[in-house]
């Protein structure tokens, strides 16, 4: 079986409010994005890596690779206006059959072991989506109404990687973009495929706000000390 990873890094990081998009910010001495690619390169299944980046940042990325002597083989593809478009651009580069894992560049703490689990689970079930169970109490509030509680044992917070048979993904990504396509699972589900959840990792945080970068730094520092 062929394993392919699409790492989406085409975003602006507007919620982070920095001059450089968050995927390029330094984490333990190197850009966030390099940690993410390293995790995939360390996965025992040795997936082929496709990196989706805004076209105006390709040169900058190549400079960063030289500066950090970064040698992991990957194919560079141009990003799109929405995450959906970036994934679509990555998919266009894939020929033949295989299992494809899509991952946010800004989740640099993903473990190589979870990547392998996700690929293998998708191979069996058609797709595999990482998620962790809610630990806080959860309520839903519809505009103009009082907030009502939900059963947190039934609430899962969805992460990436999300892996799929290429056939499912290609069919799903023929659909037009919708605002409620917040991840790949929502696109594939809309195309008629049931979604399979796999336990994620609580440390696999998405760097969205400044404090997330501080938290990621702490996790990595702690891991380094433990190793
Ligand atoms: N047009 C886009 C938008 C997002 N992404 C990627 O999708 C992942 C998850 O998106 P998010 O955390 O929302 O990143 P940004 O869009 O950069 O952040 P923000 O919404 O704060 O601007 C990120 O790795 C981001 O680079 C992408 O490849 N192409
Ligand atoms: C794909 C994702 O990371 C799954 O949790 C999430 O939906 C991305 O959301 P964002 O608003 O684009 O950060």
| Of 113, 126, 125, the residue nearest 201 (C-alpha) | 113
**For the segment 72-124, what is each residue's pLDDT rounded down to a tens digit?**
999 999 999 999 999 999 999 999 999 999 999 999 999 999 999 999 999 99
**For the segment 12-69, what is each residue's pLDDT rounded down to a tens digit?**
999 999 999 999 999 999 999 999 999 999 999 999 999 999 999 999 999 999 999 9
Q: What share of the chain is helix, strand, coil (3-state, %, to 5)?
A: 40, 25, 40
State the complex-level ipTM.
0.98
Mutational test site, ligand 2, from 183, 189, 204, 209, max ligand atoms within 8 Å of CB: 183
Distance from C-alpha of 212 to C-alpha of 208, rounded to nearest angstrom: 6
Beta bridge partners of 103: 7
Instruction: At 40, list the tokens.
Output: 């995939």
DSSP state of 113: H
- Where do the structural domains in the chain lie, given as residue ranges? 3-131+158-226
Statement: the pTM of the whole predicted model exceeds 0.95 = yes
Instruction: For strands 156-165 and 127-133, give the pairing.
Output: antiparallel
Query: Nearest C-alpha to atom 1 of ligand 2 is from which residue?
Result: 183
What is the architecture, at CATH level 2, of domain 3-131+158-226?
A: Alpha-Beta Complex (3.90)
Mutational test site, ligand 2, from 84, 182, 198, 209, max ligand atoms within 8 Å of CB: 182
Cα 68 to averaged position of ligand 1 atoms, centre (Å): 23
Which ligand is nearest to the Cα of residue 22, counting in written order?
1
């Amino acid at each position: 079986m062929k394993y392919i990873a699409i790492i989406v890094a085409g975003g602006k990081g507007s919620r982070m409010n920095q001059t450089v998009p968050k995927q390029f910010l330094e984490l333990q001495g190197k850009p966030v994005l390099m940690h993410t690619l390293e995790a995939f390169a360390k996965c025992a299944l040795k997936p082929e890596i496709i990196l989706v980046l805004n076209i105006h940042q390709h040169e900058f990325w190549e400079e960063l690779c030289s500066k950090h002597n970064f040698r992991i083989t990957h194919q560079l593809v141009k990003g799109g206006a929405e995450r959906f478009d970036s994934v679509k651009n990555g998919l266009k580069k894939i020929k033949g059959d295989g299992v494809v894992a899509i991952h946010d560049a800004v989740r640099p703490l993903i473990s190589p072991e979870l990547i392998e689990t996700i690929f293998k689970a998708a191979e069996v079930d058609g797709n595999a989506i990482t998620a962790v169970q809610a630990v806080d109490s959860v309520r839903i509030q519809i505009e103009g109404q009082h907030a009502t509680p939900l059963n947190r044992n039934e609430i899962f917070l969805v992460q990436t990687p999300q892996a799929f048979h290429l056939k499912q993904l290609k069919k799903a990504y023929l659909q037009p973009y919708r605002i409620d396509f917040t991840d790949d699972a929502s696109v594939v589900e809309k195309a008629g495929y049931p979604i399979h959840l796999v336990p994620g990792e609580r440390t696999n945080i998405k760097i969205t706000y400044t404090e997330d970068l501080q938290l990621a730094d702490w996790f990595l520092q702690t891991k380094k000390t433990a190793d």
